[in-house]
Structure 1
Amino acid sequence: MAKDVLRASSISMYGKKRPRSIPNLNSINSPDTPNVLKGHQHAVAAAQDNKCYGTKASFNLWQPTIARSNDFSLSQFWVSAGSYSGNDLNTIEAGWQVYPAMYGDSNTRLFIYWTRDAYKSTGCYNLCSGFVQTNNQIAIGGTLSPDSTYGGTQYDFDIMAWKDPQSGNWWLQVGGNDVGYWPSTIFTSLQNSASSFEWGGEVFSPDAGQTSTQMGSGHFPNEGFAKASHIKNMLVVDSSNTLRSPSGVNLLATDSKCYNVQCGTSGNWGTYIYFGGPGKNPNCP
């Protein structure tokens, strides 16, 4: 099967698959998350930081097991402004996901997403209305490989989204390559700046709390390097257009007995998290 090969921080394209729009599935783990988003479980780090203009992080690549074809598992960042309660939540999202119902297989794929009205009626996955791709060498929605192995070789790649101070557009960079942009005009709250950031994992299943769909590597964060999935060098773009570590990072886990998250800092990894879990186990639910 053709794959978009990822090694270290480089990506090559072998082919594209026509994306489909699946609305209202992604969510941010927020106290005012509406009931229509039930079924989503998160294990994320979150930071509130007004007047910031993007984020960059290095994502550990895995191929989690999906229990049912309409379940999904992902690792991503959220750049957001606005709120659920005001129905003006704007998000820019990017990362990797395994989603058989959308792609027709269980490959790990690069994805992007956006919304400007709290997932109500606007926004969608990948190359749908809104995102303007300028680089045809990287397949949005394409398969990523090789995947990391438990106790073995680990593979990471960088994703960045930032607001161009000249045009106001939000640009996407993958593996050090500019891919395209979200025009500022498709947003409301994000026309100015972002106010919150999240990094971590999400699982969706109609059987949330009962599903054995894995998050990350399928192992809990306390297992550490090469066993639990990580996101490292988590950075935000400040008002001087400079990358810096986020401040006041909080950890959010929908159900820590199913999926959990831990945070740390180091010289080589900056601010990082380990996250994930197996889903259904003797302690979940």
Structure 2
Amino acid sequence: MKNLVNAAGLIGQNRNPGVEGESSTKDITFPRPTLANSVAGLTNRSDQVFGIYARISAWGHEHTKSDAYSAAVIQVSNDQGAEYNAIRAGLHTLPSLYKDTKLHLRTGTGERAATTRTARGSCRSKTPTLGYPGMVVEALSSYNQTDSSMILQIVKDERPGIGGDWWLYRVAGPVRFPLGRWPASLFGSLSRHATEAAWYGAVGSARRGGAPPAMGSGHGPGEGYTRAAYFADISLMDRTAYPVYPSLGSVAAVASDERCYKVAMDAGGGNTFFYGGPVSRFCA
């Protein structure tokens, strides 16, 4: 899988090789150089992607240390060789940014370009009472008891006269609440469409020898609902913003460190997969 980047969503880069199947390095964003970074999830490549959707299980990470992070992310990206753009949103715990270990709604962008164009910090909130980047997610899942989740959608508005901006929505039942947008003018290749979608968990630590925190629920994906973290109803958006379920044959699973974090499709279908794993010294 290429370009699962900027997993922490902050400014600052560290060249870090190692995602399985990736021939080049990737940019990892963290307040300090990231010594440990792992991802686990699914990716889907296509000629034209206009959005991504998922129901993301919400798990807290109250034991995350100040120099670490744990995240669950949806992402669209476009890689045109010298130029790479990405937009992402999801849930994460990042004490160095928020000064707490609570779960927060996050947004971010990534880029690799010959120009000076930048899209960092560009999701502009429209409905702060319904949600906004940085908000605390209060409803959390608890092991073998409570299943809490949040539905997020990133979609490019292709209606005539709108301008083709990318929008972030929170979905509740039949209603979509716009949380903000990324103006198309901020991007190069991504101003037209995306070519890859990804749903993944990410963890990292900036301390040498420090083990990354738990990913997802902190339990392996084989434990299933109410025990393992998941992405459910994963889908792509076509040009009309209509959801299209990717066939399981068109998605690729990625686990950059299978000693610690794994991915498993839900045997019951529904375009759902489980992911994650516990804190382990083998991941440091």
If the length of structure 2 is used for normalisation, what is the TM-score? 0.81
Q: 1:173 aligns with which of 169, 188, 191?
A: 169
Checking the alignment, whether the CA contact within 8 Å between 2:158 and 2:239 is kept in structure 1 is no
Q: Which residue of 2 aligns with 1:262?
A: 264
Q: Which moved more, 1:209-218 or 1:30-39?
A: 30-39
Checking the alignment, whether the CA contact within 8 Å between 1:259 and 1:279 is kept in structure 2 is no
SS at match of 2:96: helix
Checking the alignment, whether the CA contact within 8 Å between 2:88 and 2:109 is kept in structure 1 is yes
Q: 1:116 aligns with which of 111, 127, 130?
A: 111
Identity %: 26
Checking the alignment, whether the CA contact within 8 Å between 2:265 and 2:274 is kept in structure 1 is yes
SS at match of 1:144: coil
Confirm or deny that 1:34 pairs with 2:25: yes
Q: Which residue of 1 aligns with 2:56?
A: 59
Give, in angstroms, the shift of residue 65 of structure 1. 4.5
Q: Deviations over 1:24-64 (max 9, x none)?
A: 47999561452663622000111112211001100100002
Q: Which residue of 1 aligns with 2:43?
A: 46
In 1, Cα distance between the equivalents of 2:179 and 2:219?
A: 32
Checking the alignment, whether the CA contact within 8 Å between 1:59 and 1:157 is kept in structure 2 is yes
In 1, Cα distance between the equivalents of 2:49 and 2:124?
A: 22
Amino acid of the residue matched to residue 22 of structure 2? Answer: P
In 1, Cα distance between the equivalents of 2:227 and 2:137?
A: 19
Checking the alignment, whether the CA contact within 8 Å between 2:211 and 2:283 is kept in structure 1 is no
In 2, Cα distance between the equivalents of 1:33 and 1:133?
A: 34
Q: Which moved more, 1:86-95 or 1:97-106?
A: 86-95
Q: Which residue of 2 aligns with 1:82?
A: 79
Q: Within 5 Å, give how 1:232-271 maps onto structure 2.
A: 232-247=232-247, 248-264=250-266, 266=268, 270-271=270-271
Checking the alignment, whether the CA contact within 8 Å between 1:54 and 1:236 is kept in structure 2 is yes
Q: 1:134 aligns with which of 109, 126, 136?
A: 126
User: In structure 2, do the counterparts of structure 1 residues 240 and 266 end up closer, same or farther at CA, with 3 Å as the change threshold?
Assistant: farther
Q: Which residue of 2 aligns with 1:94?
A: 89
In 2, Cα distance between the equivalents of 1:22 and 1:229?
A: 27
Give, in angstroms, the shift of residue 89 of structure 1. 1.5
Give, in angstroms, the shift of residue 136 of structure 1. 2.5
Q: Deviations over 1:54-102 (max 9, x none)?
A: 011001000024442111000011101116xx34221110000000001
In 1, Cα distance between the equivalents of 2:209 and 2:255?
A: 13
Amino acid of the residue matched to residue 172 of structure 1? Answer: L
In 2, Cα distance between the equivalents of 1:142 and 1:65?
A: 16
Checking the alignment, whether the CA contact within 8 Å between 1:172 and 1:178 is kept in structure 2 is yes
In 2, Cα distance between the equivalents of 1:227 and 1:181?
A: 33
Amino acid of the residue matched to residue 134 of structure 1? Answer: K
SS at match of 1:107: coil
Q: What 5-or-longer segments of structure 2 have no aligned partner?
A: 1-8, 29-34
In 2, Cα distance between the equivalents of 1:259 and 1:208?
A: 20
User: In structure 2, do the counterparts of structure 1 residues 221 and 117 end up closer, same or farther at CA, with 3 Å as the change threshold?
Assistant: same
Q: Which residue of 2 aligns with 1:186?
A: 186
Checking the alignment, whether the CA contact within 8 Å between 1:66 and 1:72 is kept in structure 2 is no
In 2, Cα distance between the equivalents of 1:25 and 1:178?
A: 33
Q: Which residue of 2 aligns with 1:106?
A: 101
User: In structure 2, do the counterparts of structure 1 residues 198 and 62 end up closer, same or farther at CA, with 3 Å as the change threshold?
Assistant: same
Q: Which residue of 1 aligns with 2:225?
A: 225
In 2, Cα distance between the equivalents of 1:77 and 1:110?
A: 12
Q: What 5-or-longer segments of structure 1 have no aligned partner?
A: 1-19
Q: Which residue of 1 aligns with 2:3?
A: none
User: In structure 2, do the counterparts of structure 1 residues 265 and 178 end up closer, same or farther at CA, with 3 Å as the change threshold?
Assistant: farther
User: In structure 2, do the counterparts of structure 1 residues 258 and 108 end up closer, same or farther at CA, with 3 Å as the change threshold?
Assistant: same
SS at match of 2:234: strand
Q: CA RMSD of the aligned region, Å?
A: 2.7
SS at match of 2:266: strand
User: How many residue pairs get matched?
Assistant: 256
